[in-house]
């Protein structure tokens, strides 16, 4: 483990004015809080936060971020609290640690609807302070570097999550080195055979042709010396995953794959960048379509470079990036360059992006997403896509994701232009609307009055903005028909529970779904985007679920033999609606666990004791006790209001235990009797919305396992 003085030395290398005493106190506090905790590898747990802090020193980040890294697991995994961290290390650090804790609790690889909601929370955390994400990325990087100690199924799950979310996010933030390492570490788990194959081919290639990187580096240096240009030249082989992705995209074997080497030329001035480009193109033949000038047209995360691919020594294609030293700093650190220090002061890099402006540009297009699918689509398109730059007839630049079509271009100009589009010209030539645009093309949109979007356009466009606009237009076109149908569906559903679908009832239901009025609600009913049953349940949950007899609680589980009994596991307290599995116990029947209960790992080598179970479908009685951890404000009447609120949700409090009493808050464990997982969600949502509730989480305790 890195010693505290060594960590301080790493910080002092770029920030001699660092508050070394504060870092020492954070180091000591973190080590004390994590005392006795071990990682899966058997190492002392505190080695992890220290390693995360060390990773962040490589980006020359401020003291608050380094201290947050040292403490980032304390609130979640130890007896430490927000108020204690705030008292000891200040409000800024406490807020950052709390932000990282909340991100850690997001299950980003869960179902689509929940994933969309968690992405909203992720971007909300980013908008508060981007350093939260920087700590989380460094946390994930160290976990991936040490992933071998985890069980294989967890390695696979973490690697998928890394490949799907964290690596693209690092790339979107301009931290390309981190994206490449995260991808390669995940690739090592998800497809080890493919990675090993590529590594073997590299070794064979190097044996056959010698050190190609050194030879080409020397060739470039000679050309620059001949032109009198001072610059540093670096070369490297691309990461195995990057090569594998190109092989998959281009459907090529390794032997036919080109540009597996990348070279970087770092100059002093912007003018030198273009002189280097001229020298390289004069010496080697440029590959058509592989030139990008991100100096004159920077990426939104601040990335600036000239990128070109040429046929180098022995006809091998090589990619060359050309940029100044300041551009290089931003290219390496991305948005994090905003917090970088040099010689004890915040580095003044003219190319570093203001994080507030960057996150605003990233999120503005998400705000109009009308449902979870649209939001998730917007996020993933924004995070994953590279950009192409096209020109309007007047010469203005329009940025679009790779794969965009003239329709995407039209909607990026204005929704009205997109809706009325009937054709397009690219570089003066009429092209189909599904044509994929390329860098540098000039696009002209042809419109016609009375034209309306077609349903087939959804499959043509790739941008979330265009898809949302087309869907909205299609909805409006059939709006009257849908409203009429929706009104009839609502009438029947309300009459079924003895109620009337009045305008006031429909307006109230619309508000609960976040819709603008009764007409919008009826339109969605008619278009089958909402179910009438869901509308009734939103207003009258008890009436909507009262049909039919309740299921006998003693026979609530399907999959047992007639003479078998069952009990819910106290460690995970599964409820109807959750996926479950049973473990047999001699003389005691079957103990039912939630499928994700960590206690199940103990029985992995005893498959004969596992029983495949599921809950009976139908209405369950509210007898399934679930523990809820609550942190509430210590004030007159607060506890009474919490109990009343739980009762209003038709849930009964069966037990209550005060765990921690402070002058400003209580922390307590409440046992609540519930019907099913939907009932649990309703109760937790109602409590989370209460202003006097600071935190709420479901109680689970592996130590209480059978």
Catalytically active residues, by annotation: 76-77
Residue 20 makes CB contacts below 8 A (sequence gap 6+) with 8, 11, 12
* Alpha-carbon span 376 to 379, nearest angstrom: 5
Element (H, E) at 389: strand 387-391
* Token pair in block for residue 429: 């030539």
Assign 201 to helix, strand or coil: helix
Residue 3, SS3 per DSSP: coil
Compute the distance between CA of residue 355 and CA of residue 335 in angstroms, rounded to an integer. Answer: 6
Residue 482, both tokens: 């849908």
Query: How many Å apart are CA 306 and CA 274, to the nearest integer?
Result: 8
Task: Count CB atoms within 10 A of the CB of residue 153.
Answer: 10
Contact assessment for residue 625 and residue 517, using Cβ atoms and an 8 Å cutoff: no
4-12 vs 63-71: helix crossing angle, rounded to 10: 150
Are residues 256 and 247 in contact, defined by beta-carbon separation less than 8 angstroms?
no
**What are 262's strand-pairing partners?**
236, 319
Give the contacts of 366 (CB within 8 A, at least 6 positions apart): 120, 123, 375, 378, 379, 382, 464
Q: Which two tokens stand for residue 293?
A: 């000038």
Beta bridge partners of 93: none
Phi/psi of residue 346, each to 5°?
-60, 125
Classify the phi-psi angles of 183: left when phi > 0, otherwise alpha if psi is within -120 to 50, otherwise beta.
alpha
Cα distance between residue 134 and residue 138, in whole Å:
6
**Spatial CA neighbour of 340 closest among 386, 298, 382, 302:** 302
Q: Do the beta carbons of residue 299 and residue 306 sit within 8 Å?
A: no
- Eight-class DSSP state of 442: B
């Amino acid at each position: 483990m890195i010693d505290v003085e060594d960590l301080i030395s790493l910080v002092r290398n770029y920030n001699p004015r660092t508050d070394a005493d504060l870092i020492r106190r954070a180091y000591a506090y973190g080590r004390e809080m994590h005392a006795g905790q071990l990682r899966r590898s058997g190492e002392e747990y505190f080695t992890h936060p220290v390693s995360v802090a060390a990773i962040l020193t490589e980006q020359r980040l401020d003291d608050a971020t380094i201290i947050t890294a040292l403490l980032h697991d304390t609130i979640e995994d130890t007896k430490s609290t927000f108020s204690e961290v705030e008292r000891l290390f200040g409000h800024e650090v406490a807020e950052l640690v709390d932000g990282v804790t909340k991100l850690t609790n997001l299950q980003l690889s869960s179902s689509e609807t929940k994933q969309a909601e968690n992405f909203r929370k992720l971007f909300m955390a980013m908008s508060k302070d981007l350093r939260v994400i920087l700590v989380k990325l460094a946390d994930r990087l160290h976990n991936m570097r040490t992933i071998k100690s985890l069980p294989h199924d967890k390695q696979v799950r973490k690697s998928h999550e890394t490949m799907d979310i964290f690596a693209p996010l690092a790339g979107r933030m301009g931290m390309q080195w981190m994206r490449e390492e995260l991808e390669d570490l995940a690739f090592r788990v998800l497809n080890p055979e493919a990675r090993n194959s590529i590594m073997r081919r590299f070794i064979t290639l190097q044996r056959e042709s010698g050190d190609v990187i050194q030879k080409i580096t020397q060739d470039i240096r000679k050309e620059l010396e001949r032109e009198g240009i001072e610059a540093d030249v670096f070369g490297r082989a691309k990461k195995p995953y990057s090569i594998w992705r190109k092989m998959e995209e281009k459907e090529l074997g390794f032997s036919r794959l080109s540009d597996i080497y990348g070279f970087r030329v770092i100059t002093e001035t912007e003018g030198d960048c273009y002189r280097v480009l001229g020298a390289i193109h004069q010496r080697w033949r440029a590959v058509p379509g592989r030139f990008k000038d991100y100096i004159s047209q920077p990426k939104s995360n601040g990335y600036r470079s000239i990128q070109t691919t040429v046929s180098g020594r022995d006809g091998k294609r090589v990619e060359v990036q050309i940029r100044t030293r300041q551009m290089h700093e931003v290219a390496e650190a991305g948005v994090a360059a905003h917090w970088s220090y040099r010689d004890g002061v915040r580095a003044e890099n003219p190319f570093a992006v203001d994080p507030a402006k960057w996150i605003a540009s990233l999120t503005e297009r998400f705000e109009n997403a009308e449902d979870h699918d649209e939001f998730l689509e917007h996020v993933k398109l924004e995070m994953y896509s590279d950009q192409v730059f096209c020109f309007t007839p007047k010469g203005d630049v329009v940025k679009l994701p790779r794969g965009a079509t003239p329709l995407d271009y039209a909607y990026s100009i204005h929704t009205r232009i997109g809706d009325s589009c009937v054709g397009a010209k690219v570089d003066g030539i009429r092209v189909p609307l599904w044509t994929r645009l390329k860098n540098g093309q000039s696009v002209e949109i042809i419109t016609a009055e009375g034209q309306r979007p077609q349903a087939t356009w959804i499959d043509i466009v790739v941008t979330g903005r265009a898809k949302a606009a087309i869907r909205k237009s299609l909805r409006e076109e059939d709006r009257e028909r849908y409203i009429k149908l929706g009104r009839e569906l609502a009438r029947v559903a309300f009459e079924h529970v003895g109620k009337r679908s009045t305008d006031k009832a429909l307006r109230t239901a619309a508000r609960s779904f976040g819709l603008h009025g009764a007409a919008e609600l009826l339109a969605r009913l008619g278009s089958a985007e909402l179910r009438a049953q869901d509308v009734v349940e939103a207003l009258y949950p008890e009436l909507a679920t009262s049909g039919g007899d309740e299921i006998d609680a003693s026979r609530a589980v399907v999959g047992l033999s007639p003479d078998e009994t069952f009990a819910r596991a106290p460690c995970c307290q599964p409820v109807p609606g959750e996926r479950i599995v049973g473990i047999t116990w001699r003389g005691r029947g079957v103990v039912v666990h939630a499928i994700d209960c960590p206690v199940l790992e103990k029985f992995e080598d005893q498959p004969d004791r596992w029983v495949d179970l599921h809950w009976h479908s139908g209405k369950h009685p509210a007898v399934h006790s679930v523990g809820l951890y609550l942190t509430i404000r210590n004030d007159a009447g607060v506890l009474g209001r919490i109990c009343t609120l739980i009762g209003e949700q038709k849930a009964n409090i069966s037990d209550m235990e005060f765990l921690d009493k402070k002058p400003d808050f209580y922390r307590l464990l409440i046992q609540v009797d519930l019907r099913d997982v939907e009932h649990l969600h309703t109760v937790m949502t109602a409590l989370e919305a209460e202003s006097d509730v600071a935190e709420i989480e479901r109680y689970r305790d592996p130590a209480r396992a059978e």
